[in-house]
Chains A and B, each alone.
Chain A
Amino acid sequence: MALQIVESCVNCWACEPLCPSNAIYEAKPHFLIDAKKCTECDGDYADVQCASICPIEAAIVDSQGVALNPYGSLTNIPLEKLRQHGIIDKLAA
């Protein structure tokens, strides 16, 4: 039971201070979640904190690799526009 930060993270620091388990740490090229510490906020908050503030779609994924904030869910930009501008990479699309 742990979330993961992937390469689209822009290193904005927003998630790090919110984590109730101190699982998030600065790393290169992007922030990471320590899978041993992450509790998915169970018992602390109704919503997972990191994915509730993260501004970048698809930067945080669950153990199945599914994005907590899918493309288009935060910016409201239609998917075909995201594809057209090369923002969704081919793998994710």
Chain B
Amino acid sequence: MTEMTASGCSESSCGSTADQLSHLPEHIREKVHNHPCYSEQAHHHFARMHVAVAPACNIQCNYCNRKYDCANESRPGVVSELLTPEQAIKKTLVVASEIPQMTVLGIAGPGDPLANPERTFQTFQALSETAPDIKLCVSTNGLALPEHVEELSKHNIDHVTITINCLDPEIGAKIYPWIFWKNRRIKGVKGAKILIEQQQKGLEMLTEKGILVKVNSVMIPGVNDKHLAEVSKVVKSKGAFLHNIMPLIAEAEHGTYYGIMEQLGPTQAELKELQDACEGDMNMMRHCRQCRADAVGLLGEDRGSEFTLDKIEAMEIDYSSAMEKRKVVHDNIAAELARKEEEKAQGVQFVSLDSLRKTAKPKPQLRSVLMAVATQGGGIINQHFGHAKEFLIYEVASDNVKLIGHAKTDQYCSGNNTCGDGETVLQKLIRSLDGCEVVLSAKIGYEPWEQLEEAGIIPNSEHAMEPIEEALLAVHKEMAESGALEEKTEAGLRATA
């Protein structure tokens, strides 16, 4: 049953049904279990939110424009409304009361949370006390990390994310034009060297204290793409528990250095190739949404507009009673997830028996297929193509379905009859589905149907309201039966690149 995918990946992961986290020690897996950012299953059932309390930054990244939020964790080109710590605390408690699935609060910009330590820690302090059922996380560029490790360890911090794009200052100078360090602006290789040292030191200090560390890297073709496998090895050896490689998103209209200099981001296929190459060394995270920092809600939904400042300020909250209700919801979801895991475990048993038989009488090798899915959460294909704000990208083999990424969209149709400049948005959307051969949604209009077909992507709405994994396996089976999967070609994956 071990079949190689077109881009060639390490033996440890290929064709296996094992959870990517199964190699982690028990106490870490426990923490990760219900985490909407890490656990592929929990991703559909729990929600996270960010609060923008930290405006200042102490470095410049070439993929960032300071008119917008920090691009290390948010989508580029997004502006969040800056909150005072008091407003951020209130907003978090309100959202947690209204959306009981919300279990993780992140502070991630618009600047660097640790370049604004008072605001960040005031928020954490209050939430650790009032809302112990919310996990707190913080992401940082690492420059000010070593001096704040002690303080971080005092709060209810679930994990720290460090964005590490390189270990080599020469490469760093191509990513970071300057840092602000000890009351001076330091440019070029010298600045990058200090930043890299601080990141590595911070990583070591956190893992020594037993605080979970995730590492984010932005993949920048021609700059650090060849170097990231080394980064993966080193951060793993220093105790980071997860590595998340994100594609560079560079558009001239964002006014960033890379955008204006027309630096290309990686295609889905290039990104996947690098993630596959790193997976043997490090637990890779494949399903990061690069969420908008201001998004609130479950996967595929955004309820941010329900929680604007004036609405929040008018609301009264009684968090202790909300906490009781939240507990009931969390227990129900946990039970549901446990039930699904049980079913899956039985499935695996069945497949492995089956695969024994396959070895006796080998079938032709079937390649895996990338498929995109429109969903509003719950693990069901329940979103109209034109209303989808993001598509989940799955790699589907004959016996295995793996969530490997997300394609973000500007909603191509706003739901009216007229879609304005819908066409260009649709073209862009189709381009972002690069490498996918099928797109599944609950419904799809005639025009996008035609254009998808023209682009060589098969639209499919026959599996509306069905569970995602089952539907994908069924589609793979149909494709296999029609003989579409016997040739495995690199060209297939890069078709629209």
Contacts and interface: CB of A to CB of B under 8 A. Distances in A.
Nearest to A41: B183
B261 interface: yes
Contact of A52 (B111, B183, B257, B261): B183
Contact of A12 (B57, B183, B257): B57
A76 B180 CA distance: 16
Contact of A55 (B62, B66, B257, B260): B66
A65 to B, nearest CB: 21
B379 interface: no
Interface residues of A, number: 23
Contacts, number: 61
A82 B255 CA distance: 9
A10 B255 contact: no
A76 B58 CA distance: 17
Contacts of A49: 183
B432 interface: no
Contact of B183 (A47, A74, A87): A47
Contact of B111 (A12, A17, A45, A81): A12
Given A10-B66, A13-B55, A77 B260 contact: yes
Contact of B177 (A13, A45, A75, A87): A75
B196 interface: no
Contacts of A90: none
Contact of A53 (B67, B177, B185): B185
B120 to A, nearest CB: 13
A55 B70 CA distance: 13
Contacts of B198: none
Interface in B277-305: none
B228 to A, nearest CB: 23
A56 interface: yes
Interface of B: 55-58, 60, 62, 66-67, 82, 110-111, 115-116, 177-178, 180, 183-185, 252, 255, 257, 260-261
